[in-house]
A and B are shown apart, each in its own frame.
Chain A
């Protein structure tokens, strides 16, 4: 059960530091009054008392890793913009749609002022002249809460012309999405913001920091990433890096769902918390439901290759997860117990990415749909033995060469580390393949059993007559 009825899914258990969820305990957490009473906008004041360059250096020193999925440090990203090219824009990625991911919506609904303040700090530090806050269309409550927060902040003088009496002026425009997973990819988000179909752009050259919205240098940052900035500016980068590890300081929000006793959204200590802690810990998900056995889990959102019990002691740290054959992604752990129909589970995820393809790249558009069809045939008991190798061949045309996967003691397999090569403009095509590849690599026997069943059924139904016999 959620710790607070007004924050569905959020679990407040244990004595861990809270950087972004500190106000979730209050029912009125989203109001300006509560925000002021709990140190709100002090981070902005601290930033405005220093030069933009100093604030930028502080954010870089803190190593605030992107919390959208790619994990790229925010301060470094800001520094990639070419000098002298203006205006620059900030586009906030509030398009949370990755399967298993649930944190940005909570932050927008429960602490919208924290996000607003984070946007202002980023705009000040990096010289961003206008902010577009893109919220997923299917989250109308988030639109309302953020909309009201923006109205309150404008009235109080935190946004707009000459903020708090300084030379800093910026508008924040609330923009609504309309339902498209691929738009969460930063260049597709920009295309959507320009009024077009959300088709990703090729990188290079279209890294947004270089060529972004309307062709201008643009920073695209995730909601949770920006929400860290107020605490960071108020408490200092030393306090931030004192939490977590050197490569992964601070905290992360992680959603654990599926076959666990206590699914929930947890703010964990970054870098040191392990998957065993997250899935089995008393402060966290408390183990598998009904004390069933863990079969597999997706460690980092639907696009991530699967882990099994062999990987439970991997810490929530980017390099460790990559070396082990997967990724941290968007902080979404989906747990499958021994009752799970693995081919069906793989189909569910592959279907998602195939359906969400923007259609630009042939390997994704055709390959994703093809993977889904073949997999559907296998799941329905109409598969043949050549279907399994065909799935791998299709995957090869989306991601040539070795595809990342976890090690398996049971199968005598060693890990193939991240990343993969891809023939597509963005990662949606590879994501359609990842669940298939993981399922086939780690649980091929289940697929073969499915094929054997269907072949036996077919043999019974169609009597085979020898050629030439009458």
Chain B
């Protein structure tokens, strides 16, 4: 049963309420479903569609565009090794080759014990710290084959659970907009001149 849980529906409605149009909450809600289930299921897509007022096809169309949404179960740890320019110049190929040997899977595969999924990734915005990789989107800089082996060992032993949440969980702290402090959504259907702007409108 992978529809959003009751608690997540409450959160989902709060998130939807921040946007002038409900459809804008599609990606945040897909992330929420992936946080709950570990990957994006058809049931969750249907539920998100109900919540934002779209069809399942529309939500699936959006979901399939974005790299982070996985449609099959993923290992507890998603290991993304960057292969873009600066990392490539500083040994990304060797690192990936080593990772494949150490984990016993080719890039794209998941280890038999379900712990690690290994993937090629593109630029992770840490180019000065090449070669880079991410585990569940947490950066690991200046990787070496030795550091990689140590990291895998630490992850398998659960030593990094405080730092690296399971796949699907991104930010561990969410934004909250208190109702009594909110300015309120600015709907495109209501042409309201902002209260602090001089009237008649003085844009240049």
Q: Nearest residue in B to A166 (C-beta to C-beta)?
A: B196
Selected from B25, B66, B141, B197, the residue in CB contact (under 8 A) with A178 is: B66
A129 and B194: CB pair below 8 A?
yes
A137-B170, A147-B174, A302-B84 given; A171·B183 CB < 8 A: yes
Give chain B interface residues in 162-204, CB to chain A under 8 Å. Answer: 170-178, 181-188, 190-198, 200-204
Q: Is B61 an interface residue (CB 8 A)?
A: yes
Give chain A interface residues in 247-264, CB to chain B under 8 Å. Answer: 255-259, 263-264
Q: A82 to B130, alpha carbons, bound, how many Å?
A: 45
A138 and B124: CB pair below 8 A?
yes
Q: Is A309 an interface residue (CB 8 A)?
A: no
Tell me the dominant secondary structure on chain B's binding face: loop
Q: A352 to B92, alpha carbons, bound, how many Å?
A: 14
Selected from A87, A264, A348, the residue in CB contact (under 8 A) with B194 is: A87
Chain B CB count within 10 A is highest, among A129, A192, A344, for A129
For residue A175, which residues in chain B have a CB less than 8 angstroms away from its CB?
A: 24, 27-28
B24 and A195: CB pair below 8 A?
yes
Q: Is A238 an interface residue (CB 8 A)?
A: no
A138-B134, A171-B183, A179-B68 given; A86·B86 CB < 8 A: no
A99 and B171: CB pair below 8 A?
no
Q: A56 to B202, alpha carbons, bound, how many Å?
A: 11
Give chain B interface residues in 41-92, CB to chain A under 8 Å. Answer: 52, 54, 61-62, 65-69, 80, 83-86, 88-90
A99 and B123: CB pair below 8 A?
yes
Q: A344 to B171, alpha carbons, bound, how many Å?
A: 36
Selected from A139, A151, A179, A197, the residue in CB contact (under 8 A) with B61 is: A197
A171 and B182: CB pair below 8 A?
yes
Q: A155 to B68, alpha carbons, bound, how many Å?
A: 32
A56 and B196: CB pair below 8 A?
no
A198 and B173: CB pair below 8 A?
no
Chain A CB count within 10 A is highest, among B127, B130, B196, for B127
Q: Is A372 an interface residue (CB 8 A)?
A: no
A100-B86, A178-B31 given; A79·B203 CB < 8 A: yes
A302-B84, A345-B88 given; A178·B30 CB < 8 A: yes
Q: Is A130 an interface residue (CB 8 A)?
A: yes
Q: A154 to B174, alpha carbons, bound, how many Å?
A: 13
Q: A151 to B147, alpha carbons, bound, how many Å?
A: 36
Q: A336 to B89, alpha carbons, bound, how many Å?
A: 8
A181 and B127: CB pair below 8 A?
no
Selected from A150, A155, A176, A358, the residue in CB contact (under 8 A) with B28 is: A176
Q: A214 to B190, alpha carbons, bound, how many Å?
A: 12
B85 and A345: CB pair below 8 A?
yes
B137 and A9: CB pair below 8 A?
no
Q: Is B10 an interface residue (CB 8 A)?
A: no
* Interface stretch of the complex, out of B15-23, B98-106, B110-118, B148-156: B15-23
A129 and B89: CB pair below 8 A?
no
Chain A CB count within 10 A is highest, among B18, B181, B194, B200, for B194
Q: Is A334 an interface residue (CB 8 A)?
A: yes
CB distance from A84 to the nearest CB of B (A): 5
B23 and A150: CB pair below 8 A?
no
Q: Nearest residue in B to A344 (C-beta to C-beta)?
A: B88
A127 and B194: CB pair below 8 A?
yes
For residue A129, which residues in chain B have a CB less than 8 angstroms away from its CB?
A: 186, 192, 194
A–B pairs, 17, beta carbons within 8 Å:
A8-B129, A81-B203, A87-B191, A99-B86, A100-B123, A140-B170, A140-B172, A150-B175, A159-B181, A169-B184, A171-B177, A195-B26, A197-B62, A263-B130, A344-B88, A352-B123, A356-B122
Taking beta carbons and an 8 Å cutoff, which residues of B are in contact with A? Answer: 18-21, 23-28, 30-31, 52, 54, 61-62, 65-69, 80, 83-86, 88-90, 122-130, 134, 137-139, 141, 170-178, 181-188, 190-198, 200-204
